[in-house]
Chains A and B, each alone.
Chain A
Amino acid sequence: MVVDAQKPFALDMSQWQGSLDELRGLVSDRAMTGETMLLNMGPHHPSTHGVLRLLLELDGEEIVNCLPDVGYLHTGIEKNIESKSYEKAVTLTDRMDYLSPMSNNMVFCMAIEKLVDLDVPERAQVIRVICLELSRIASHLVWLGTHAIDMGAMSVFLYAFRERELILDMFEMLSGQRMMGSYLRPGGVWRDLRPEFLPALNHFLEIMPGRLDDYEVLLTNNPIWVDRTQGVGIIEPDVALAWGVSGASLRASGVNWDVRKAMPYSGYETYQFDVPLGDHGDVYDRYIVRIAEIRQSMRILHQAIKKLDTAKGGFRSNNRKFVPPPRTELGQSMEAVIHHFKLWTEGFSVPDKEVYVSIESPRGEIGCYLHGTGGNKPRRVHFKTPSFMHIQAIPVMSQGHMIADLVAIIGSVDIVLGDCDR
Chain B
Amino acid sequence: MGVTQKLGNLGVVTTTLEQAINWARTGATWPLLFGLACCAIEYMSTQASHYDLARFGMELNRASPRQADLMIVAGRVTRKMAPVVRQLYDQMADPKWVISMGDCASCGGVYNNYAVVQGVDEIIPVDVYVAGCPPRPEQLMHGILTLQEKIRGERISDWALSIRQPS
CB–CB A72/B81 < 8 A: yes
Identify which of B37, B44, B91 gathers the most chain A CB atoms within 10 Å of its CB.
Answer: B37
Taking a contact as CB atoms closer than 8 A, the residue among B34, B78, B133 that contacts A75 in the complex is B78
Complex interface: chain A residues within 8 A of B38 (CB): 95, 98, 179-180, 418
CB–CB A2/B83 < 8 A: yes
CB–CB B87/A161 < 8 A: no
Given contacts A50-B36, A72-B78, A180-B133, contact A165 B45 (CB under 8 A): yes
Instruction: Report the bound CA distance from A75 to B81 in whole Å.
Output: 11
CB–CB A73/B83 < 8 A: no
Given contacts A75-B78, A180-B38, contact A8 B86 (CB under 8 A): yes
Closest Cβ neighbor of B112 among chain A residues: A80
Instruction: Report the bound CA distance from A162 to B44 in whole Å.
Output: 11
Nearest chain B CB to A347 CB, angstrom units: 18
Question: Residue A79 at the B interface, CB < 8 A?
Answer: yes
Question: Residue A168 at the B interface, CB < 8 A?
Answer: yes
Question: Residue A7 at the B interface, CB < 8 A?
Answer: yes
Question: Residue A262 at the B interface, CB < 8 A?
Answer: no
Nearest chain B CB to A103 CB, angstrom units: 14
Complex interface: chain A residues within 8 A of B35 (CB): 50
Complex interface: chain B residues within 8 A of A158 (CB): 48-49
CB–CB A8/B115 < 8 A: no
Main secondary structure of the interface of A (DSSP, over half): loop
Could you mark each residue 74-103 of chain B with 1 if its beta carbon is under 8 Å from any beta carbon of chain A, else 0? 011010110110111011000000000000
Instruction: Report the bound CA distance from A162 to B114 in whole Å.
Output: 38
CB–CB A164/B45 < 8 A: yes
Taking a contact as CB atoms closer than 8 A, the residue among B36, B63, B75 that contacts A45 in the complex is B63
Taking a contact as CB atoms closer than 8 A, the residue among A76, A92, A418 that contacts B37 in the complex is A418
CB–CB A165/B83 < 8 A: no
Nearest chain B CB to A222 CB, angstrom units: 21
Complex interface: chain A residues within 8 A of B162 (CB): none
Given contacts A162-B49, A180-B133, contact A142 B41 (CB under 8 A): yes
Q: Considering only CB atoms and an 8 Å cut-off, how many residues of chain A contact the other chain?
A: 45
Closest Cβ neighbor of A422 among chain B residues: B115
Instruction: Report the bound CA distance from A71 to B50 in whole Å.
Output: 33
Question: Residue B21 at the A interface, CB < 8 A?
Answer: no
CB–CB B110/A76 < 8 A: no
Closest Cβ neighbor of A158 among chain B residues: B49
Question: Residue B70 at the A interface, CB < 8 A?
Answer: no
Question: Residue B140 at the A interface, CB < 8 A?
Answer: no
CB–CB B63/A46 < 8 A: yes
Instruction: Report the bound CA distance from A270 to B91 in whole Å.
Output: 57
How big is the B interface, by class? 35 or more
Closest Cβ neighbor of B36 among chain A residues: A51
Given contacts A8-B91, A180-B133, contact A80 B84 (CB under 8 A): no
Question: Residue A91 at the B interface, CB < 8 A?
Answer: yes
CB–CB A8/B90 < 8 A: yes
Nearest chain A CB to B113 CB, angstrom units: 5
Complex interface: chain A residues within 8 A of B114 (CB): 76, 79
Question: Residue A254 at the B interface, CB < 8 A?
Answer: no
Question: Residue A99 at the B interface, CB < 8 A?
Answer: yes
Question: Residue B167 at the A interface, CB < 8 A?
Answer: yes
CB–CB A44/B49 < 8 A: no
Complex interface: chain A residues within 8 A of B44 (CB): 142, 145-146, 161
Closest Cβ neighbor of A166 among chain B residues: B50
Question: Residue A211 at the B interface, CB < 8 A?
Answer: no
Could you mark each residue 39-51 of chain A with 1 if its beta carbon is under 8 Å from any beta carbon of chain B, else 0? 0001111100011
Question: Residue B69 at the A interface, CB < 8 A?
Answer: no
Question: Residue A1 at the B interface, CB < 8 A?
Answer: yes
Q: Which of B24-82 contact A (CB under 8 A)?
A: 33-38, 40-42, 44-45, 48-50, 61, 63, 75-76, 78, 80-81
Question: Residue A157 at the B interface, CB < 8 A?
Answer: yes
Q: Which of B103-145 contact A (CB under 8 A)?
A: 110-116, 133-134, 136
Complex interface: chain A residues within 8 A of B84 (CB): 42-44, 51, 72
Given contacts A2-B83, A8-B90, A162-B50, contact A76 B36 (CB under 8 A): no
Q: Which of A75-116 contact B (CB under 8 A)?
A: 75-77, 79-80, 91-92, 95, 98-99
Could you mark each residue 45-63 of chain A with 1 if its beta carbon is under 8 Å from any beta carbon of chain B, else 0? 1100011000000000000
Question: Residue A342 at the B interface, CB < 8 A?
Answer: no
Identify which of A6, A8, A9, A77 gathers the most chain B CB atoms within 10 Å of its CB.
Answer: A8
Complex interface: chain B residues within 8 A of A417 (CB): 37
CB–CB A73/B111 < 8 A: no
- Pick 5 A–B contacts, CB within 8 A, sort by A: A8-B90, A44-B34, A73-B78, A146-B44, A179-B41
The 9 A-B residue pairs with the shortest CB-CB distance in the complex, in nearest-first order: A161-B48, A98-B38, A8-B90, A76-B115, A3-B83, A46-B63, A72-B81, A76-B113, A165-B50
Q: A6-B167, A75-B115 are in contact. List 7 more A-B contacts (CB 8 A).
A: A50-B37, A50-B40, A73-B75, A75-B116, A178-B136, A179-B134, A180-B133
Which B residues form the contact surface with A (CB < 8 A)?
33-38, 40-42, 44-45, 48-50, 61, 63, 75-76, 78, 80-81, 83-84, 86-88, 90-91, 110-116, 133-134, 136, 167
Which A residues form the contact surface with B (CB < 8 A)?
1-3, 5-9, 42-46, 50-51, 71-77, 79-80, 91-92, 95, 98-99, 142, 145-146, 157-158, 161-162, 164-165, 168, 178-180, 417-418, 421
